[in-house]
A and B are shown apart, each in its own frame.
Chain A
Amino acid sequence: MKGALKHLSPALACCGLLLTWQLASLGLKNDSFPTALDSLRAIPPILTDKEALINILASLRRMAIGFALALAFSIPLGLLMGRSRATAAFFNPLLMLVYPVPKAALMPIIMLWLGVGDVSKTLVIFLGVSLPVIYHSFEGAKAVEEKMLWSGAAMGLSAGERLLRIVLPAALPEILTGCRTGLVLALITMVTSEMIARQSGAGNILFNALDMGQYDTVFAMIIIIGAMGICLDAVFETIRRWLVRWSEPQFDMPLSFS
């Protein structure tokens, strides 16, 4: 009974939201605010259109590449910074400068240098994802209990092995928290980059529709992108929980739709 309720509640929340939307838009009667039903009806045509699908897949591909590259770069860097004072002292000022800059604001310069193609967009996603992952990896590595490393050293692990086989797993819960934030940021920077550099992608469909006043398509795309975000987050959260099952307290309140 309780389990059924747990699975039902997200669905109920969705229905409630859609219903409110429907009523609000019927009441307001504004052209730029189509009803929920009209917007939902606009989804199947998009998802069956080959052109649109190619665009969405291109977006996802850039996002996956940017995200993966960011993890491959940021996790080792963050861990090193957390365990080596010199590395931290070297990179900290740099990161503090980059941290508050909205990565999308760099897009025009990047476009100027690297063109409006995949490289620029992937780079912006990479930058957007990197910082939270570096930060959380750094914090996670810094918090590793010293005696755990000593135990490893006494068993004959070299400094490199300790980083890989003790710091990495010990910091994993914290790293994955950063990755989860990074995943959402990847989606956001993906759409933003496509807004700035129109050419292809899910963001491109959305903003083209906006220019042409096809508001039901605009809202349909918002739903599609939102659903992609929710699904990605749910999949990631499932993987994350499996990976850190050794550390989670038993009674956690799930903050996702998985």
Chain B
Amino acid sequence: MGVTPIRPGELAGVPLGRRPAEPIIEIDHVSQVFKTSSRRDHTALSNISLSVEEGAFVSILGPSGCGKSTLLYIVGGFVSPTSGTAKMKGKPITGPGTDRGPVFQEFALFPWKSVLGNVMYGPLQQGMNSAKAEARALELIAMVGLTGFEKFYPKELSGGMKQRVALARTLAYGPEVLLMDEPFGALDAHTRTRLQNDLLEIWERDRKTVLFVTHSVEEAVFLSDKVVMMSRSPGRIREVIDIDLPRPRRREELLLDPRYQNYIVEIERMFDDSGDNELPS
């Protein structure tokens, strides 16, 4: 496994004043090699470079096992890459921080806290008083459509409901960058559409940077400014496609827009051409 050296000066010249098109996240020649329990090396990510502009909505699309989650963990600072660097606002990422909010594929809710307790957790941790934190939590719980379930414990929720709590919990503490790992994977089509719209609305209002992992080509095109297509064995970036569709986006309009349909067809064809035909689901 060749390790690509980081060429000094390659990322130099990041100006101090931040303009809108400034990269907020820079992933530079990142590789991730895991030792498996059978003591073999397994390359999950191979020489990934990607820069994400502040306020951009970027989707990561790729077959199962191509390293999408691993890439998010590296940006989140939960895993440090075997080689290469990831930077946030020009500073190397050395660990997790409140500026990057993950929504995990596995939800990872706190089972001893109620729905309300889970969503309030972040705001309380940041020193918000409990009345304010509760008001904020209730607002987000309503947004994800779980009003009436505030007192429920995670074990009493369905998979899709847990996913929505996880989303609300992360939004509650207002991270600058959202790292979302298939956050709508377990939802029915109707709820999924509704939450996509809500997410877009929040995003259009706050212009948070979003890294969004998904299996759905349609979802990626609908939401994103940029779609990063990954391929497997070992995980690398195949293509980065700019989605040039007007905003604010409305589903009814897009469905009639030939450009929207072209993007979907084009991306699906690219996946069909490659050996990775686990996608689209």
Contact = CB atoms under 8 A, between A and B. Distances in A.
Given A155-B173, A246-B113, 11 more contacts: A148-B108, A148-B110, A150-B76, A154-B102, A154-B175, A169-B110, A169-B112, A170-B111, A246-B112, A246-B155, A247-B111
A47 to B, nearest CB: 41
Interface string B194-216: 00000000000000000000000
Nearest to A172: B112
B158 interface: no
Contacts of B101: 154
B108 A155 contact: no
Interface string A142-171: 000101101101111100000000100110
A155 B112 contact: no
B158 to A, nearest CB: 15
B98 A150 contact: no
A111 B126 CA distance: 53
A145 B106 contact: yes
B112 A170 contact: yes
A172 B175 CA distance: 30
A245 to B, nearest CB: 8
Interface string B81-117: 0000000000000011110111010101111110000
Nearest to A248: B155
B69 to A, nearest CB: 10
A177 to B, nearest CB: 16
Contacts of A247: 111-112, 155
Interface of A: 145, 147-148, 150-151, 153-157, 166, 169-170, 172, 244, 246-247
B153 interface: yes
B122 A147 contact: no
B102 A155 contact: no
Nearest to A148: B108
A151 B173 CA distance: 12
B126 to A, nearest CB: 7
A150 B104 contact: yes
A244 B102 CA distance: 27
B76 A154 contact: yes
B76 to A, nearest CB: 7
Interface of B: 73, 76-78, 95-98, 100-102, 104, 106, 108-113, 121-122, 125-126, 153-155, 169-170, 173, 175
Contact of B153 (A153, A156, A246): A246
Given A147-B106, A246-B153, A153 B112 contact: no
7 contacts: A151-B108, A153-B78, A153-B95, A154-B76, A155-B121, A246-B111, A247-B112
Contacts of A156: 97-98, 125-126
A246 B157 CA distance: 12
A247 B73 CA distance: 28
* Of A147, A166, A247, most B-chain CB atoms within 10 Å: A147
B125 A147 contact: no
Contacts of B109: 148
B269 to A, nearest CB: 35
A147 to B, nearest CB: 4
A147 B102 CA distance: 10
Contacts of A246: 111-113, 153-155
B102 A151 contact: yes
Contacts of B108: 145, 147-148, 150-151
A51 to B, nearest CB: 46
A244 B155 CA distance: 12
B98 to A, nearest CB: 5
Given A153-B96, A154-B76, A155-B125, A147 B104 contact: yes
B184 to A, nearest CB: 18
A148 B78 CA distance: 11
A166 B125 contact: no
A60 to B, nearest CB: 31
A157 B155 contact: no
B98 A155 contact: yes
Nearest to B154: A246
A57 to B, nearest CB: 36
Q: Which of A155, A157, A246 has the most CB of B within 10 A?
A: A155
Of the candidates A145, A148, A166, A246, the one having the most CB atoms from chain B within 10 angstroms of its own CB is A246
A51 B64 CA distance: 73
A247 B113 CA distance: 10
Given A154-B76, A154-B175, A166 B110 contact: yes
A155 B104 contact: no
Nearest to A145: B108
Contact of A151 (B104, B112, B153): B104
B154 to A, nearest CB: 8
Contacts of B102: 150-151, 154
